[in-house]
Structure 1
Amino acid sequence: MAIFSGYVLLGITGPGLLWWRVLWRSERRFLAEELAAGTALGYVMEVFSYIPSRALGLPLLVLVWPIGSIAAFLVIPSLRRWWRGPGPGGRMPLWTAWALAALFCYVAAFSAASHFRFHGIAWPGIASPTPDIPWQLSMAGEVKHHIPATFPQVLGEPLLYHWFAYADMAATSWVTGIELQTLLVRLSPLPMLAVYTVLIVALARRVTGRWWTGPLAAALCFFTMTPQLSALPQAAGWTDVVSSGTVLNYVWWSPTQTFGAMLCLPLVLVLTQVLCGQARSSLWLLLCLLLAAETAAKGTFLPLLLAGLLLTVGVHGVVRRRLHRAAAASAGLTAAALCFAQLVLFRGETQGIRWAPLHTVKRMEVAVPEAIRMLPLSQHTPVFAGAAAVFMLVVGWFCMCAGALGLLRERTRLLDPMILLFAGMGAAAMAVMLVSGHPFLSQIYFLQSARPYLGILAAAGFAAVVPRATSRPALGAVRIGLPLVAAALAGVVIVCLARWWDGSVTPSGDGWDARALARLTPYGLLGMGVLVVVVLLLLARRWAVPLRGLSTALTLAVLTGIALSSVKDQVVAPFEETLDQGWGATTGWPTTTGSGREAHDVPAGAMRAGRWLRGHSDPSEVVAANVHCRASKARYCDPRHFWISAYTERRVLVEGWGYLPSANARAALYGEPQGFRVPFEDQARLAANDAAFSMPSKRALDGLRSKYGVHWLFVDERFNRPGRALGLYAVPRFRAGDCAVYEVPA
């Protein structure tokens, strides 16, 4: 932890902060904002330094950038002044700092309760990980040893994927010597989360001019989600699909999403200056750097940014009848970056996302008999059931950003370029989710990517309807804050009443329309409850002096409270489970479902055998594996098997193909398997690989070595024990637990 923290501070934050100050050059400087944005810029420069260093075969050359930067700022007189901070005037208010610290402490605690206790750094804590974790680990191992990189799970599969987050972990591992697994499941996302949290607060402050909107925007981003209104059996399935929980649920599963989200915030921060007419050449350079980094950080952010910028250009062109040049130029740069990413980096690959209207709502329980099933694209969805699903989706997300309605009070703010940018990003995210589909529902990442900007938009709406405290600000904050909190709690109570009342309702039939009607029933009570509360607020303001001037804000708080009603299920539940279940009585980790060693995805000895092979082989040498499917009880092969390439950090001839773009491209959006039933594309290669283990012979092994360059065989003996025959033709080199390593003789 000390080594990692030292590297982040000296190798990323320090030089990034100095260069941010040089390029930002704003008179309104805030230390926390500078530190966060500088850290993000440091990550950008680290990745851009690592790529050529790794390509040259000298990965430690990545240190040239931080060492050279710090030396330049120490030696060159004109750069020394940038060591000085903004001074006392650049500090955020004390209460804002404490609120920000509390938010991040919650993020760390939530990570421990929901992720750390299920994903260890040693066996058996690694026995049954989420499939994404070995996948991410194998990708990081590939980028640690190869530039240009490929997918390590299947030899020769081109890396048409956003991979800059893996370059950061690879660079950090080379410099610090920390294992990639420790970085992935414990350390790397934490400073990114800190940057993410601070920049949401800083960006909200820039947009609204009020400090309290920052913690509010961050809280809305972390804690609001679509309400679960129905108490009927199996009704929870659609809620998970539509809201996908909070942004915190994806931090550890998808480091690419975390990395891309972190980089997008300073990019938008630069746009606050560019779109408002402060377009200095250094800001344009900074904008180009961040856009370049976003091209291969995460594929969801550039399309959203482009949509927001185009909306800004369009609205200003229609209303003011003039071209917003800064927005148009920014849109042009964003479009160029997006085209480069799609045509050059991804070579036109869509990562499995395709045109599939209402595919997301087809996954909702209201539209299908069982919550866990998914409809084929060709299957007809009843009009009423589909409309009901869309209605619930829109209502849920409307409540999450209901505060934005407050901007209607100050209609001149509707032409603010930043407000238009955020509105365009949110609208585009919702549109993409409604008209596209993916075998693993990855279209939801678009909405998750827009979450902080929708939160800031809602906070800006509250700022427009909450009066400023002209005297005695502390007393004014209490006088205004308490009624707003009470109104939000009223929204939570309304949802609880709707769920309680809905528990006595049963569908009048088994058809889709009957089930959809049953799911819509509590929404009627929800609407009536909101109407009653609003009427009471309008009546109360006549005699309750503290409520005067707050009726609009209180109404918006009630709607926001509806989106806070699921906090207990998503935010509090992990802590309750931790207290109830503990950390495991004997092993220290929760046990998996099932019995016997076959129940684990990762066998005992996997890490030891994999790391032995890593230490005794060259990165160019290829490994053949005898397993391709996860250790699940499904009746079909689940080809999300990635731990061999993850722990060996070597390319595997054929391991698991479940996440490959080529497999997603061939997978129809159908049924429960989601694409897991898609067979491997090269059946001849798969047959040659499996024959070496099932029927070992000198000819089979010679064929693997001569045709595919296979040097090593990795055997999981739980499911396919080759026996002594394999030892006659390959050299046994290492054994640990259920894993054995053989070398293919030349």
Structure 2
Amino acid sequence: MVVVLLARGTPPSDLVRYSLFLVVGVVAPGLVLHKGLRGSQGSWLSDVGLGAATGSVMTLVAWAVAGALSAWPLMWCWPVLSFALLLLPSVRERVRQRPRSWGGGPALALTGAVAVAVWQQVSGYVSVVDLPPSSRGYYPDLLWHLGLAAEATRSVPLQTPQLADAGPLRYHWFANAEVAASSLMSGVEVQTVMLRLWVVPAAVLAVVLTAALAEKVSGSAWVAAAAGWAFLTTAPFPFWPSVVPVLSHLNGYSPSQLFAYTPFLLALHALVDVARDSGARRGAVAVAMIGCLGASGAKSSALPVLLGGLGVAVLAALVHRRRRAVLIGTSVVVALLTAAALRLVAGGSTGSGIQLLSNLTVMQPYRVLARAEPDFSTLVPSGLVSGPAGPLLLVALLLALGLASVRNLGGLHPFTRTGPRHDLGVWLLAGASLTAFLPLVVIGHSGYSEYYFLYTGLPAGCVLTACWVRDAVTGQRMSPARVARWLAVGAGATVLVGLLTRPGSGDTPGPEEMRGRLVLFVVVLLVVAAGALALGASRRRRLRAATAVLLMGVLAGSAVLTTATGQTGTPLPHDDGLDHLAQSTAAVWIREHVPADALLATNEHCLPADPGVAATRCDSRRWWLSGLSGRRVLVESWDYDPASVAAGGYRDGARLAANQAAFSDPSPATLGALADLGVTWLVAEGGSAGGVSPDLPEHADLRFRTGAVSVYSLR
């Protein structure tokens, strides 16, 4: 990985500084604080992973305090204070508790899972996204997040850097603040942190925390390794690439989702102890609250999923007459925190509404057989139940969703006849993994944001899936050799069949071919289900054990296959015809020569339409200026501004007109109007084709020009 980072232009000094920051500023102080509160959690893997998660959330706390005081160097006080806790004898005693080491087999298995996670991020993100300047385009949302991370280096709470008059940002921006804190404490530029150094450790930590949660619930290192592998794959069953959707839960292009796993899993791990009444209860409650605090602004789906898990745990506690008061009290606290988060640091849900089974419309069969552009204004998606495809489409897509979310269905384990019934920690995980299905059923959104609930609950489902496999194997007393054989069969068959059915470039079947694929898909699944039921009537336990191990092999093989073939669900920017080299070169110049608190204005706000497609609206996601330069812009783009979305365009027409006039009709009056708003620099794109007057240099100082981008300072 280090070789790839250096080969991809990462400055060696930045790599060293960031690595030192992770060790000294995150992992070590977090390890002291977490162990000081809870003691050792069983293994070095769990202790280090949970310590890193605790340190990550506490870095956010330090960032908020230092930013509120306008004294960023104070962030380094948090590691110093954490080490000072070692002066307390009780803390020293807990920190000195020696965790056990895993055996060679589980350690080797989880190391393989971590290697695949690194491979995913390096091949799908680090090797694709360039450091500026570059002629390669950037995914628009990534540029938007870059702008937020840069904003987090100068304001607490965040303002809106793409629209200077929009005020405080209504969005779950804690991931951006985490990147900003990493930049401020390590001395590495925000762009280098987000595009190179942050994403791989974040993905690895998500896998490690999933394994740590599995170890906590099961007490088994093998179950922990299995849960880590189950968490990796983006397509559990890649045999039907044009039917079963690909998930993108470990996606560097969505920093908020990737970061959300850290506080969510930290809180869930501690809440298992709270539910079970394990030792160091007060410490577990404290860590749970630290995790919930971090989750509150990490992703809008995090706390609701956690609250769903607590709700199921409360119901189980009422049935079993155990831990009722503490679980109800914890649920109330988390509910209050969720309500506060929805008011203060939630967002990204603009355009959401009630539409049953809306999530099915993202799948290719619906786009081919029903509607290429789904309508989100109806109660049920048009063409899903009626229409040419009829019930076949609905049945096939529900089955496809079931296959895609099979790991979340691990939450059914405690409901089964052989599942654990009295372990409230298991019920907590079951609720967290199954709660995700409610938004999938009832919420409709053009960006399919309801899938983030599924992603958030996925680690809990993976843990229970691994526990189900362990219980099935233990009940049948399968030998290690037989387990290995079934794992190899599942993994090998997945890789082989997946390679044979891999779609070609631009493979989009027509309606008749798609209808035939759906018929075959439904028939095969029904035959397999009927065969399993028939065999299970006489050899139920043996079948259950073999099926469980085979499923784990399929998940492991799919993790390798989807990563190797690039089926990771990561979006790639299309060739939009923009001069990306000029844009990024100008952005680097601005970063080096323009004050960090300067306010810029630009004349272009819309992305070009796809060639051959008539533009019906302005795709206002042109965020390269704020993202790559890290500076605020008066009016850049407005697609994620709730008020502008509601207005159907930028909400302040007069301000937009004044902004454009400064470029198209420069004069002391038009430029003075922008100067009165605080603008000190102009960034013009496209020359006369972009509405830029040739007279602009007469009224502003040209400071830099490259390609179609010119940078002016106001006199």
Counterpart for residue 671 of structure 1: none
Which sits farther off after the overlay, 632-641 or 392-401?
A: 392-401
Over aligned residues, Cα RMSD in angstroms?
3.4
How far has the Cα of 1:79 moved from its partner? 4.7
What does the per-residue CA deviation read over 1:558-582, in whole Å, with 9 as the maximum and x for residues that have no partner? 5566767865763221399xxxxxx
Counterpart for residue 674 of structure 2: 704
How far has the Cα of 1:76 moved from its partner? 5.6
Residue 282 (structure 1) aligned with residue 283 (structure 2): yes
Question: CA–CA distance in 1 between the matches of 2:45 and 2:236?
Answer: 32
CA 1:631 to 1:256, structure 2 compared with 1: closer, same or farther past 3 Å? same
Give the letter aligned to residue 694 of structure 2: R
Question: CA–CA distance in 1 between the matches of 2:277 and 2:72?
Answer: 41
Question: CA–CA distance in 1 between the matches of 2:628 and 2:636?
Answer: 13
**Paired residues for 1:171-570 under 5 Å:** 171-223=181-233, 225=235, 227=237, 236=242, 239-240=244-245, 243-245=246-248, 247-248=249-250, 250=251, 252-278=252-278, 280-317=281-318, 319-320=319-320, 324-346=324-346, 350-369=349-368, 373-378=373-378, 380-383=382-385, 384=391, 387-388=394-395, 390-397=397-404, 399-400=406-407, 411=418, 413-467=420-474, 476-486=479-489, 519-532=518-531, 550-558=542-550, 570=562
Counterpart for residue 580 of structure 2: 603
Give the letter aligned to residue 141 of structure 1: A
Counterpart for residue 28 of structure 2: 14
Question: CA–CA distance in 1 between the matches of 2:91 and 2:368?
Answer: 66
Indicate conservation of the 8 Å contact 1:224/1:400, yes or no.
no
SS state of the match for residue 479, structure 1? helix
How far has the Cα of 1:721 moved from its partner? 6.5
CA 1:406 to 1:575, structure 2 compared with 1: closer, same or farther past 3 Å? closer
Which sits farther off after the overlay, 257-266 or 349-358?
A: 349-358
Residue 62 (structure 1) aligned with residue 87 (structure 2): no
Q: Give 5+ residue unaligned stretches, structure 2.
A: 1-14, 386-390, 504-508
Indicate conservation of the 8 Å contact 1:403/1:462, yes or no.
no
Indicate conservation of the 8 Å contact 1:200/1:217, yes or no.
yes
How far has the Cα of 1:341 moved from its partner? 0.4
Among 727, 736, 739, the alignment partner of 2:697 is 727
Residue 640 (structure 1) aligned with residue 640 (structure 2): no
CA 1:592 to 1:219, structure 2 compared with 1: closer, same or farther past 3 Å? closer
How far has the Cα of 1:515 moved from its partner? 6.4
Indicate conservation of the 8 Å contact 1:407/1:413, yes or no.
yes
Question: CA–CA distance in 2 between the matches of 1:607 and 1:487?
Answer: 46
Question: CA–CA distance in 2 between the matches of 1:498 and 1:182?
Answer: 38
Question: CA–CA distance in 2 between the matches of 1:321 and 1:575?
Answer: 47
Counterpart for residue 584 of structure 1: none
Indicate conservation of the 8 Å contact 2:603/2:691, yes or no.
no
How far has the Cα of 1:53 moved from its partner? 1.2
How far has the Cα of 1:244 moved from its partner? 2.3
CA 1:332 to 1:393, structure 2 compared with 1: closer, same or farther past 3 Å? farther
Question: CA–CA distance in 2 between the matches of 1:207 and 1:679?
Answer: 50
Question: CA–CA distance in 2 between the matches of 1:623 and 1:693?
Answer: 13
Counterpart for residue 5 of structure 2: none
Question: CA–CA distance in 2 between the matches of 1:406 and 1:148?
Answer: 42
CA 1:255 to 1:101, structure 2 compared with 1: closer, same or farther past 3 Å? same
**Paired residues for 1:67-216 under 5 Å:** 67-73=80-86, 79-81=91-93, 84=96, 86-87=97-98, 90-124=100-134, 127-157=136-166, 158-216=168-226
SS state of the match for residue 282, structure 1? helix
What does the per-residue CA deviation read over 1:246-278, in whole Å, with 9 as the maximum and x for residues that have no partner? x33x1x111111111111111111012110013
Give the letter aligned to residue 334 of structure 2: T
Give the letter aligned to residue 599 of structure 1: G
Which sits farther off after the overlay, 431-440 or 362-371?
A: 362-371
Question: CA–CA distance in 2 between the matches of 1:499 and 1:40?
Answer: 37
Residue 653 (structure 1) aligned with residue 630 (structure 2): no
* TM-score, reference length from structure 2: 0.86
SS state of the match for residue 152, structure 2? helix
Indicate conservation of the 8 Å contact 2:348/2:640, yes or no.
no
Counterpart for residue 506 of structure 2: none
Indicate conservation of the 8 Å contact 2:411/2:434, yes or no.
no
CA 1:78 to 1:519, structure 2 compared with 1: closer, same or farther past 3 Å? closer
What does the per-residue CA deviation read over 1:164-212, in whole Å, with 9 as the maximum and x for residues that have no partner? 2222211221222212111112111222223222221121122122211
SS state of the match for residue 275, structure 1? helix
Indicate conservation of the 8 Å contact 1:154/1:656, yes or no.
yes
Counterpart for residue 7 of structure 2: none
Question: CA–CA distance in 2 between the matches of 1:228 and 1:106?
Answer: 17
SS state of the match for residue 138, structure 2? coil
Which sits farther off after the overlay, 393-402 or 95-104?
A: 393-402
CA 1:297 to 1:575, structure 2 compared with 1: closer, same or farther past 3 Å? closer
Which sits farther off after the overlay, 631-640 or 132-141?
A: 631-640
How far has the Cα of 1:119 moved from its partner? 0.5
Question: CA–CA distance in 1 between the matches of 2:325 and 2:682?
Answer: 60
How far has the Cα of 1:111 moved from its partner? 1.5
Indicate conservation of the 8 Å contact 2:314/2:328, yes or no.
yes
CA 1:611 to 1:146, structure 2 compared with 1: closer, same or farther past 3 Å? farther
Question: CA–CA distance in 1 between the matches of 2:164 and 2:375?
Answer: 33
How far has the Cα of 1:399 moved from its partner? 3.9
Counterpart for residue 38 of structure 2: 24
What does the per-residue CA deviation read over 1:332-366, in whole Å, with 9 as the maximum and x for residues that have no partner? 121011011012334x8844433222221233333
Indicate conservation of the 8 Å contact 2:355/2:376, yes or no.
no
SS state of the match for residue 550, structure 1? helix
Give the letter aligned to residue 366 of structure 1: P
Counterpart for residue 683 of structure 2: 714
CA 1:613 to 1:161, structure 2 compared with 1: closer, same or farther past 3 Å? same
Indicate conservation of the 8 Å contact 2:439/2:453, yes or no.
yes
How far has the Cα of 1:280 moved from its partner? 2.4
Residue 622 (structure 1) aligned with residue 632 (structure 2): no
Indicate conservation of the 8 Å contact 2:409/2:434, yes or no.
no
Q: Give 5+ residue unaligned stretches, structure 1.
A: 501-505, 542-547, 577-590, 667-677
The percentage of counterpart residues that share the same residue type is: 26
How far has the Cα of 1:530 moved from its partner? 4.8
Question: CA–CA distance in 2 between the matches of 1:313 and 1:381?
Answer: 40
What does the per-residue CA deviation read over 1:654-677, in whole Å, with 9 as the maximum and x for residues that have no partner? 1111223334556xxxxxxxxxxx
Question: CA–CA distance in 2 between the matches of 1:63 and 1:497?
Answer: 53
How far has the Cα of 1:454 moved from its partner? 0.8
Question: CA–CA distance in 2 between the matches of 1:516 and 1:565?
Answer: 28
How far has the Cα of 1:433 moved from its partner? 1.4
What does the per-residue CA deviation read over 1:141-171, in whole Å, with 9 as the maximum and x for residues that have no partner? 1111122321211122230111122222112
Give the letter aligned to residue 528 of structure 2: G
Give the letter aligned to residue 524 of structure 1: V
Question: CA–CA distance in 1 between the matches of 2:323 and 2:671?
Answer: 67
How far has the Cα of 1:737 moved from its partner? 3.8
SS state of the match for residue 105, structure 1? helix
